[in-house]
Chain A
Amino acid sequence: MIESAFLMNLLVFASILGLAALGGMFSERSGVINIALEGKMLMAACVTGWIGGTSGSALIGVTAGVVAAIALSLAHYLLTQVYSIEHIVAGMAINVFAYGATNFIALTFIKPGTSNHFLPISVYLGLALLASLVSTFVFARTRAGLRLLAVGESPEKSRVTGLDPLRVRLQALIVTGVLCGLSGALIVTNSGAFSDNMTSGRGFIALAALILGGWRPVRATLACLAFAAFEAGQIQLQGTKLFGYETPAALWNAMPYVITLVALAGFVGRAKAPAGLGKA
């Protein structure tokens, strides 16, 4: 019984992280640094819960959530590409905005006690698997994928070869919005209702998985699975003895971040960022 609960949690957490990490991959490999995954997911979680509840339709709810995440992605595009704002600053602004806007929406529009309408979790698990397979294929085999990689590696050279980096990045960021939207929708679906700051750093864990996976789809997905295992397993892991001490849950929660730090220092593999990351 415990095993099946663990397995279900593992799949859900891995899907949440996987969808977001793949979303981050489209953005980052096109050259847009994305520390705003968290904000986009939070926005989608909030709007999915809100519109799903008021419309009475799960499908409309998810669609609205995804559209909200796309809207933030478009804002991200505007800020970084049209206004040339430093990508980190733009990402921070989007996270802060999403944090405030979701608090605002939840208190202004979500009536307590409204019944919730969510798609079944299995739909999301299927979509996450599909997204992982399709992304791998897109980057490895399609013209659009190669163009995206070219723009991300060198916007200057790709411009010379006739590509339009701004256009490619716009498309990439829309895909990011869709994937982060689904990820956020899954978070609210899994908990049953929206609560303040409910993404609780998962957008950053997804970013960590992306980096740990060296910005490659299969490796990033594996990293998501590993991180999800820490989260799903913490119930079993906490209290286990390590060097004679009982380990607190916080330690297991912190593991993904610690591993990523060690990886960044170059001790686990060598994560190489797209060369054009953050460049105009």
Chain B
Amino acid sequence: MKGVSLAWRLGALIVGSIVLVVAALMATQAPVGEVVQRLLLDSFSGPTSFSETLKRFCPYVIAGVAVFWALRAGLFNIGVEGQFLIGGMVGIAVSLPIGGFGGILLGALAGSVAGMLWAIPAGWIKAYRGGHEVISTIMLNQIAILLTSHLVAGPLMDKNAGFPTTASLAPTSMLGGIPFGPVTVSWAILIAMVVVGVFSWWLRRTVSGFELSVTGANPTAAQFAGIEVKRTVFQAMAWSGAVAGFGGALQAVAFEGRFFEGFSSGYGFDALGVAILAGGNPLAILPSAFAFAVLGQGATAVQLNGVPKGISSVILALLIAVFAAFRYAKVRPIHD
């Protein structure tokens, strides 16, 4: 690969990705043009599709903020998936017996705390014991998946349901929205946007936000500048977990109304892609999350053409690779 210029390398990656997807679509014998159109535009084809897209958009935004937060401190929070699950489960478990607006509020609060608690071991191990956060969060994810699926098939299961799920919140105990014609935009969407706005403001305009960025960019320099690096790292992981847990709880009280096996369709994992795609700008999480949501909805729709759902993961993976290639090409030149 020596001597091959960066532009060519990136170009080859993009062309290769497109060829791979088109070849895969052709293998299904579906009409490629129609499938591509549906993949990209199904979200805008009607009120139901658009509502479904918003339902994906919300967790992508909040989980995206969670990943972004940790990433700014130089941490890969792979554990967002687990924190999101724990937050969703605890959120429902708290809001179900209380009900009403109080239930929503306390559920969201409890979900955030639970997500934070689920991230704290990883933050502590990273900051004070020197263990890699990726490994600890992968372990915590697996434990979260086992724990939530055990609880939702046992103690928390709705005995009347034939499959692992909790009971559902009454519609009046769920977070409502603002109707725009046939589409109801949940308050959760607005909340997600506020979360992004507040996070962006905090990161850019406050001392602690600045300390976080400095710690992530150069821990040694941060240490010399008098920043408590270990505490900053620990707190970044804890807050990242809290945001992820809040996202799970919000998803539960605003969209799902219950917790069930498969509550997260990999939102936490995809959120890494959302954050990478957003680059260095926290506000860019919004368009990035929207792109992921549109694609996710499109992939569900192309199943009508006989194209398996897995195509969305394939495309997301290629997107992550392409955008990461651009992002890291600037930061780290290849050794020749």
Contacts and interface: CB of A to CB of B under 8 A. Distances in A.
Interface of A: 33, 35, 79, 81-86, 88-90, 92-97, 99-109, 159, 165-166, 201, 204-205, 207-208, 211, 248-250, 253-254, 257-258, 260-261, 264-266, 271, 273, 280
11 contacts: A83-B325, A93-B321, A97-B317, A100-B313, A103-B313, A107-B308, A254-B146, A257-B140, A265-B125, A265-B129, A273-B132
Give the 8 A-B residue pairs with the shortest CB-CB distance, closest first: A100-B313, A103-B310, A97-B317, A264-B131, A250-B150, A107-B308, A100-B310, A104-B310
Nearest to A266: B129
Interface string B83-121: 000000000000000000000000000000000000001
A83 B310 contact: no
A250 B135 contact: no
Given A90-B321, A96-B270, 16 more contacts: A35-B138, A89-B276, A89-B328, A92-B272, A92-B273, A100-B310, A100-B314, A100-B315, A208-B139, A248-B150, A250-B150, A254-B142, A257-B143, A264-B132, A280-B332, A280-B334
Contacts of B139: 204, 208, 257-258, 260-261, 264
Interface residues of B, number: 58
A152 to B, nearest CB: 15
B129 A211 contact: no
Contact of A100 (B13, B140, B145, B312): B312
B27 interface: yes
A84 B332 contact: yes
A47 B328 CA distance: 32
Contacts of A280: 332, 334-335
Interface string B304-318: 000011111111111
B309 A103 contact: yes
B134 interface: yes
A105 B313 CA distance: 13
Interface of B: 1, 9-10, 13, 24, 27-28, 76, 78, 121, 124-125, 129-132, 134-136, 138-140, 142-143, 145-147, 149-150, 154, 266, 269-270, 272-273, 276, 308-318, 320-321, 324-325, 328-329, 331-335
Nearest to B331: A84
Given A99-B313, A100-B311, A89 B320 contact: yes
A108 B24 CA distance: 9
Chain A CB within 10 Å, residue with most, of B1, B13, B308, B311? B308
A159 B276 CA distance: 31
B135 A208 contact: yes
Nearest to A96: B317
The B contact surface, by secondary structure, is: helix
A86 B134 CA distance: 12
B12 to A, nearest CB: 10
B328 A257 contact: no
A264 B317 contact: no
A108 B272 contact: no
Contacts of A266: 129-131
Contacts of B311: 100, 104
B143 A254 contact: yes
Contact of A264 (B1, B125, B146, B318): B125
A261 B121 contact: yes
A85 B129 contact: no
A139 B68 CA distance: 39
Nearest to B4: A82
A207 B328 contact: no
A129 B255 CA distance: 50
Contacts of B132: 264, 273
Contacts of B316: 96, 100
A56 to B, nearest CB: 21
A49 to B, nearest CB: 15
A23 to B, nearest CB: 17
A260 B135 contact: yes
A97 B269 CA distance: 12
Given A90-B321, A97-B313, A264-B136, A82 B334 contact: yes
Contacts of B266: 96
